[in-house]
A and B are shown apart, each in its own frame.
Chain A
């Protein structure tokens, strides 16, 4: 529905004492829960939101500070599915692998999806690997999958020969005992990501025996052993006991070689360690700085790492929240708004992929740093729909096409970050995303019922004008945040319409979709990336530059990278060294891949705290 006159009534009614968006929010309290454990580690110590005006990192590195540890982390669904697949590939005849995985797919699908978990008090964004809930369905589904894997790997003589060895199918009973022992050690070692000890081998032998039910090389008994292994805590969780104590600490320990191998492999590849990583663990090479760094280099060079960090960028940039672009096709107003551009059912996914490809290409192919990521002038649109929005030919791989449109000035102007899929742009939500997602500054909740009055498409005013009249009335609670903290960021990209196309004028429509006029777009604003800074921005290019100069988005990316790496909310004090290293390097323009490497090289990645 169109709004002819904005309704200022709401804000007038709700003159509640909303906190000011600067001053009252000088500290990012996103770590309040985690920080509360550390004396002196108050929300106020989290200076990221205030920027690094001195040019250094906003984080403080205190080598003695200790971060909380994530207890008994479980495999994420992606990690679980990848590990099952890798185990099957390593145990089944090559020609049977696809059939087995197809058989397992419906069962793996019953494992609950991981939710995007974020930090306390935040409702947007988040990373799936932070979801540590364990539901009944996890236990039920993993049991069903484990039983099915056991059944499938032992279903035929050929499969038993491949998984267990020819000793399992030959007629020689004399080798049966060794056959069983070898299988338990080999398959179990792969599943548990470490060698089994004698007690464990004995335990699995007893599983095989089945209270005396097993006779000879019994396929059902082998299947049971596989099943029990694949629901063990050592398989479903990252069970870590640590090794040597960290000097001069009370409760910190270095991880063992196999524990490090597991952390590395799941961090970079989302799956179990490969033979080379296991060998490095067993030889002790992983416990040396050189050996550890060499393995990180090897993991980083593997294509699986690019996929993993594609997931990271996708989740960091809230790309899963992008609305469908085609939902309103066929409605009069939207058809008028979209003109001859017809978004299809895949357009949203194509927009998301374009940003993910941009980020991973910049990171792993170009070797770019933060500015290259933030200001990339290349198109990564592989499909005709998004390429058409950009006015380029689809990217076929290789060197990506240059975006000739001067309005496309990097990340902030990618279609996935400016499109709404509706009749109208959403400058408020764009502003909220930039403030929260890219600057890591909390936005206080709106007054009660504020959301009841969304800005609507007007036949008289631009969307910016509607938003200003609705939310920036002087002396209202709304204006406190909207006029300084939210709207100026969102207005900067109002030169893109709701489908992400460049515009200099906003066409005005009536309800039936008839054009009734147009008004010029105004992208100027005072974004106040740093509180009180009165520098004006003329649009997205200026805004991006101001953001880069503030070092805030670099600090924010550092937060998210540490969060993703540790699979838990960062602790500003306890993780200060890791945060500081990441943020400093990002601000210095160090290539992104080097920052990823540097975070994993931190000693904290190889340590574990036990309380």
Chain B
């Protein structure tokens, strides 16, 4: 193992740590290989991606989205008139926001930060998905099968887009500082191939971490590692063993050999990681671990503890981005951010549309807390100058998706909220509404309440837009008749709402979202 590179700490900044650890970090630019910068600064060529996936959804439109008067522009697109407008930050005492859910302390959600938000409406999964985990990032197969459509979707497992990025040579053209291709927090949010380098094998869930300290240990190389040994690294010899077995004339089945090949790929990745010797300078190990919070018996209804839990991860993510040891983080947030003590699933989420609004009040307030305490917190931590007036947040795409749209279980108009311009790929500060208001044929239903739903564009188009923004060429992920990412499947009885024109444009970056 070579000696860790010593960095030129010409400029440092202190992250807005929430108590996790003290960190004096060099700016990212000093870590980036020169060719990773765009010829046209100030944006970084290789941006970062963060996805937050939350459960249920079901937040009423008056709480989740800005007012309709915000939508000042229209455009004909895919057989409908789509709308957009500039987000308007309003003040309510010490709170600022663009709508009730998307609000936070005014000194955090500053006008500058609010201008880096996007709110997307009218992104649909065109079949009944019900409860799921995988749909956020493109693996619709991971659903509960609570419906015939969901069962059909279970037959088409796909890698999630974070794993497409993680193993894309376009996204990671240089892995010299990368320790973790993708940081995965929370279970069942990320899926990839069993042989990810070759994109073959079976689709399997990527194991998550729940400990911020464990994640920290994965993304930093301790400088004090023993570097004095004259012995060669043993990983070479480990590889020799597997190759020897693979090539031996002993009896093995073809599937045995495939398993060995899969393992060899993983060993190659291990070897690559072991050769990463980047140091981030004055890194102090975290003084707290997320599991300290999680292990509390009251964690499930203690929003302050939940805030601390997730902010500890935000600290590690921000530090990893600064150090360049990872550029992807996906987080499945299943906490409620509420002091409600009871069966959240049944008593709140499934009651979100009872007319008295009691459960809805609990629900939207919880979503607001998630936004302010977690998503906004990370945006603030990343919104530090990387040089030339561009912040790390500008070079990042943070995306928050909910499990359902306005109705729990129904994946029509799943809200997508973003921060950052993905290194200039996205225009920001917008409210974008892709629904076809002329079509009110669908209905949503939940606990005695029905409401007309307007069909939108395909969620696949959003996933493809995110991949494109992250620099992954379509050739690496598009397959089949239509563009966008993932399988396109129109559910039973929904064909009329999703004509082929919707999918003909699925390979395009969502209108107005692209910066060009």
Residues of A within 8 A of B245 (CB): 233-234, 239
Q: Is B230 a contact of A69 with CB atoms below 8 Å? A: no
Residues of B within 8 A of A110 (CB): 214
Q: Does B32 contact A (CB under 8 A)?
A: no
Q: Is A451 a contact of B131 with CB atoms below 8 Å? A: yes
Residues of B within 8 A of A203 (CB): 237, 240-241, 244
Question: How far is the CB of B250 from the nearest CB of chain A, in Å?
Answer: 5
Residues of A within 8 A of B72 (CB): none
Q: Is B253 a contact of A139 with CB atoms below 8 Å? A: no
Q: Known A-B contacts: A71-B256, A224-B237, A452-B407. Give 18 more (CB < 8 A).
A: A72-B256, A113-B207, A134-B263, A138-B266, A139-B270, A203-B241, A203-B244, A213-B230, A232-B238, A253-B251, A445-B146, A445-B147, A449-B445, A451-B131, A451-B144, A451-B146, A453-B447, A609-B253
Per-position binary interface string of chain B over residues 343-363, scored 1 when its CB falls under 8 Å from any chain A CB and 0 otherwise: 100110011001000110000
CA distance A140 to B232 in the complex (A): 18
Given A139-B267, A233-B263, A328-B341, A446-B146 contact (CB < 8 Å): yes
Q: Is A140 a contact of B343 with CB atoms below 8 Å? A: no
Given A232-B241, A233-B263, A10-B445 contact (CB < 8 Å): yes
Given A210-B232, A228-B234, A611-B341 contact (CB < 8 Å): no
CA distance A228 to B237 in the complex (A): 7
CA distance A227 to B250 in the complex (A): 24
**Which of A10, A231, A454 is the one whose CB lies under 8 Å from B346?**
A454
Given A228-B238, A327-B300, A139-B269 contact (CB < 8 Å): yes
Q: Which 4 A-B pairs have the closest CB atoms?
A: A71-B255, A448-B128, A448-B147, A112-B207
Q: Does A343 contact B (CB under 8 A)?
A: no
Q: Is A611 a contact of B255 with CB atoms below 8 Å? A: yes
Instruction: Give how many B residues have a beta carbon under 8 Å from the other chain's beta carbons.
Output: 71
Which residues of B (148-188) have their CB < 8 Å from a CB of A? 148-151, 154
Question: How far is the CB of B237 from the nearest CB of chain A, in Å?
Answer: 5
Q: Tally the A-B contacts, defined by beta carbons under 8 Å.
A: 174
Q: Is A143 a contact of B149 with CB atoms below 8 Å? A: no
Question: How far is the CB of B186 from the nearest CB of chain A, in Å?
Answer: 14
Interface pairs (19), CB distance under 8 Å: A9-B448, A69-B253, A71-B258, A133-B194, A133-B204, A136-B269, A136-B270, A139-B266, A139-B269, A203-B240, A203-B241, A207-B234, A213-B231, A228-B241, A233-B242, A445-B151, A448-B492, A454-B346, A609-B253
CA distance A228 to B267 in the complex (A): 12
Residue of B nearest to A242 (CB): B251
CA distance A452 to B448 in the complex (A): 10
Listed residue (A207, A241, A452) with the most chain B CB atoms within 10 angstroms of its CB: A452
Residues of B within 8 A of A140 (CB): 270, 273
Q: Does A388 contact B (CB under 8 A)?
A: no
Q: Is B238 a contact of A237 with CB atoms below 8 Å? A: no
Interface bracket on A: 35 or more
Listed residue (B230, B237, B350, B354) with the most chain A CB atoms within 10 angstroms of its CB: B237
Which residues of B (390-443) have their CB < 8 Å from a CB of A? 407-410
Given A228-B237, A239-B245, A454-B350, A71-B253 contact (CB < 8 Å): yes
Q: Does B227 contact A (CB under 8 A)?
A: no
Given A221-B231, A609-B253, A123-B445 contact (CB < 8 Å): no
Per-position binary interface string of chain A over residues 594-611, scored 1 when its CB falls under 8 Å from any chain B CB and 0 otherwise: 000000000000000111
Q: Is A449 a contact of B255 with CB atoms below 8 Å? A: no
Q: Is B255 a contact of A328 with CB atoms below 8 Å? A: no
Residue of A nearest to B274 (CB): A143
Q: Is A211 a contact of B232 with CB atoms below 8 Å? A: yes
Residues of B within 8 A of A234 (CB): 245
**Which of B145, B259, B350, B409 is the one whose CB lies under 8 Å from A72?**
B259
**Which of B232, B244, B270, B447 is the one whose CB lies under 8 Å from A452?**
B447
Q: Does A171 contact B (CB under 8 A)?
A: no
Q: Is B270 a contact of A13 with CB atoms below 8 Å? A: no
Question: How far is the CB of A201 from the nearest CB of chain B, in Å?
Answer: 13
Q: Is A611 a contact of B206 with CB atoms below 8 Å? A: no
Q: Does A1 contact B (CB under 8 A)?
A: yes
Question: How far is the CB of A597 from the nearest CB of chain B, in Å?
Answer: 29
The A interface is mostly helix, strand or loop, or mixed, namely loop
Residues of B within 8 A of A456 (CB): 346
Q: Is A123 a contact of B341 with CB atoms below 8 Å? A: no
**Which of A134, A231, A611 is the one whose CB lies under 8 Å from B253?**
A611
Q: Does A115 contact B (CB under 8 A)?
A: yes
**Which of B231, B232, B262 is the one whose CB lies under 8 Å from A134?**
B262
Residues of B within 8 A of A253 (CB): 251
Q: Is B273 a contact of A331 with CB atoms below 8 Å? A: no
Q: Is B205 a contact of A449 with CB atoms below 8 Å? A: no
Residues of A within 8 A of B130 (CB): 448-449, 451
Q: Does B252 contact A (CB under 8 A)?
A: yes
Q: Does A345 contact B (CB under 8 A)?
A: yes
Residues of B within 8 A of A402 (CB): none
Residues of B within 8 A of A71 (CB): 253, 255-256, 258-259
Residues of A within 8 A of B262 (CB): 134
* Residues of chain B having any CB pair with chain A under 8 Å: 128, 130-131, 144-151, 154, 194, 202, 204-207, 214, 229-232, 234-235, 237-238, 240-242, 244-245, 250-256, 258-260, 262-263, 266-267, 269-270, 273, 297, 300, 341-343, 346-347, 350-351, 354, 358-359, 407-410, 445-448, 491-492
Residues of A within 8 A of B343 (CB): 327-328, 422-423
CA distance A158 to B354 in the complex (A): 71
Given A113-B207, A327-B341, A451-B273 contact (CB < 8 Å): no
CA distance A422 to B131 in the complex (A): 20
Q: Is A143 a contact of B238 with CB atoms below 8 Å? A: yes
Q: Is B341 a contact of A448 with CB atoms below 8 Å? A: no
Residues of B within 8 A of A113 (CB): 207
Q: Is B251 a contact of A610 with CB atoms below 8 Å? A: yes
Residues of A within 8 A of B230 (CB): 210, 213
**Which of B145, B235, B240, B267 is the one whose CB lies under 8 Å from A445?**
B145
Listed residue (B147, B151, B359) with the most chain A CB atoms within 10 angstroms of its CB: B147
Q: Is A220 a contact of B231 with CB atoms below 8 Å? A: yes
CA distance A544 to B46 in the complex (A): 63
CA distance A301 to B252 in the complex (A): 34
**Which of B147, B205, B237 is the one whose CB lies under 8 Å from A446?**
B147
Q: Does A298 contact B (CB under 8 A)?
A: no
Q: Does A519 contact B (CB under 8 A)?
A: no
Given A448-B148, A449-B147, A135-B237 contact (CB < 8 Å): no
Q: Is A610 a contact of B252 with CB atoms below 8 Å? A: yes
Given A227-B234, A228-B241, A449-B206 contact (CB < 8 Å): no
Given A143-B238, A454-B350, A137-B409 contact (CB < 8 Å): no
Question: How far is the CB of A135 from the nearest CB of chain B, in Å?
Answer: 5
CA distance A13 to B147 in the complex (A): 14
Q: Does A330 contact B (CB under 8 A)?
A: yes
Residue of A nearest to B262 (CB): A134
Per-position binary interface string of chain A over residues 302-334, scored 1 when its CB falls under 8 Å from any chain B CB and 0 otherwise: 000000000000000000000000011011001
Residues of A within 8 A of B446 (CB): 452
Residues of B within 8 A of A611 (CB): 253-255
Q: Is B253 a contact of A241 with CB atoms below 8 Å? A: no
Given A232-B241, A233-B245, A449-B409, A16-B445 contact (CB < 8 Å): no
Residue of A nearest to B129 (CB): A448
Q: Is B240 a contact of A123 with CB atoms below 8 Å? A: no
Residues of B within 8 A of A610 (CB): 251-253, 256
Q: Does A503 contact B (CB under 8 A)?
A: no
Residues of A within 8 A of B204 (CB): 133, 135
Per-position binary interface string of chain A over residues 109-148, scored 1 when its CB falls under 8 Å from any chain B CB and 0 otherwise: 0101101000001010000000001111111100100010
Residue of A nearest to B255 (CB): A71
Residue of B nearest to A207 (CB): B237
Question: How far is the CB of B453 from the nearest CB of chain A, in Å?
Answer: 12
Q: Is B148 a contact of A16 with CB atoms below 8 Å? A: yes
Question: How far is the CB of B226 from the nearest CB of chain A, in Å?
Answer: 10
CA distance A112 to B273 in the complex (A): 18
Q: Is B206 a contact of A1 with CB atoms below 8 Å? A: no
Residues of B within 8 A of A453 (CB): 350, 447
Q: Is B128 a contact of A135 with CB atoms below 8 Å? A: no
